[in-house]
Amino acid sequence: MDLPLYRSVARRLSEGIKQAGLNPGARLPSVRTLAKQYNVSHLTAVQALQSLESEGLIFARPRSGYYVATPELQGPKRRVKVIWPNPLPELDPQARDHLAMVGAPCAARLDLAVGEPELYPVKRFNVILRRLAYQQPSLVSEHTRGMGNLGLRLTVAQQALQYACELDPDELVVTNGCVEALNLALRAVTKPGDIIAVETPTYFALLQMLRALELIPLPIPCAAPNGMDIEILRKKIKFVPIKAVVTIANGNNPVGTVASDENKRGLVRLLSDLNIPLIEDDIFGDVCFQEGRPRPVKSFDRTGGVILCSGYSKSLCPGLRVGWVAGGKYAERIKLLKYTTSMATAELQQAVVKEMLSSGSYTKHLRVLRRDLLGHQKMLREWVLESFPKGTEISEPAGGFVLWVRLPQRDGMKVTSRALFAPAREEGIGFAPGHLFGVTGEFDEYLRLNSGCRLTPMLQSSVSRLGQLYI
């Protein structure tokens, strides 16, 4: 089987280090230089460097670059401290400003991974909500506590059987969105200072959650078609005390990959043998484009070591803060954390979701939603290719709401999405700059665009203007 491109680059780079006789501590060329030297993308160059780092041949210094490791540190069996501070340092002022502005009001809503209201059954949801509030006033008049609406938990477990995932309703806890589910899962299996393996690039809110919990993210390359690189993870585990792994196997945000079943099965097997918890964010699982809903990693779990987190803000209603977590063998700990964090999730919304899921209308809605999202994605890709300069690279996601765009060099110089952010915002155009998706601010040449927007002439002109701002 052919090696992935970044591994081939890593092998060539390793041979180059030996042939050049670089001394320990010698600085390697920049990511941009390596990408140009090997005629590959910026992301491929980053993944190649991380591959060599996992083997102990090189090491990184935040905001400085990669260096040749000393002989005593080389080799996969050593144990070393993670190269960034514990916990992560505060965001720099520019990153804080950009993070705060992503989601702020703007005319062209290209920054958030959400769909337009017209894509969702909002009217039907409101009709059911009013009816249930009238027929069952106790849903709003009585004090709410506990694991969540039993009917919803039973329905979630029944729905999961459609994609070969067996869930016990008693291990399910209904949460205030998938974000709370992830937060509870992380707190259930970690403590401040622990090292958590995450895909790179990954969702910026996850990185900020790790920062808030004083956890240290360890990046593992994520690339199509297999998602998280298990071999890199396996090598890192040998010399870094990883306490948990987080994956967005279905519809990775921002790359849009869907990991293969072989990859998912191998990931579960690796971590199960080592008794390392795996936390799965499956919020995009229902909006993947392939024929048949992709299986979550949890469906391959036989020991209870996988914690599955999901919700309905991406698939049913963007403003609906109903999520859930299946805690496996960590369920009791998660239940206690839920009680002491928010006690419970509003009952009325849960009852509405339960009715929509069990009526069959949700399945019909998803078929239309996936079709529309795929159409939006294709059209937005065409607009970007028409408006952005030659050399722009665009992902082809297998699911979700976003496109991951790499900007080409301009006049031989690197152009970052940071430089475009402020002028674009001044003109009402929002996007998410790439540096927010990296552990140490990498991916500066990338930006994420929301493909769930309404396809209007105004949006097309905004994409065109974004391309002009680059030029």
pLDDT confidence band for 471 (50 / 70 / 90): low
- The separation between the first and the last C-alpha atoms of the chain, rounded to the nearest angstrom, is 41
Strands (E), 139-226: 172-175, 195-200, 216-223
Q: What is the CATH number of domain 120-363?
A: 3.40.640.10
- The CA-based angle 339-342-345, given to 5 degrees, is 95
Q: Which tens digits make up the pLDDT trace of 323-364?
A: 999 999 999 999 999 999 999 999 999 999 999 999 888 999
Query: Where in the chain are the domains?
Result: 5-73, 93-118+366-470, 120-363
**327-337 pLDDT per residue, tens:** 999 999 999 99
- What's residue 76's pLDDT? 46
Contact 386, 460 (CB under 8 A): no
Alpha helices (H) in 176-278, listed in sequence order: 177-189, 204-212, 230-239, 261-274
77 pLDDT exceeds 70? no
Burial (CB count within 10 angstroms: exposed 0-12, middle 13-18, buried 19+), residue 406: buried
Whose tokens are 């952005």? That residue is 388
Interval 177-198: pLDDT, tens: 999 999 999 999 999 989 999 9
In the predicted structure, residue 420 carries a pLDDT above the cut 80: yes
Architecture of domain 5-73: Orthogonal Bundle (1.10)
CA distances (Å), origin 94, targets 84, 91, 101, 244, 253: 20, 8, 11, 30, 22
CA atoms within 13 A on the CB side of 185: 35
pLDDT (mean) for 172-176: 97
**What residues have CB less than 8 Å from 1, skipping those under 6 apart?**
none
Say how many C-beta atoms besides its own lie within 10 A of residue 80's C-beta: 12
pLDDT at 94: 85
Read off the pTM: 0.84
Annotation: CATH topology of 93-118+366-470:
Aspartate Aminotransferase, domain 1 (3.90.1150)
Choice among 56-70, 420-434, 442-456 with the minimum mean pLDDT:
56-70
Token pair listed for 200: 């790179």
Q: Tell me the C-alpha distance between 426 and 369, whole Å.
A: 32
145 contacts 121 by C-beta, under 8 angstroms: no
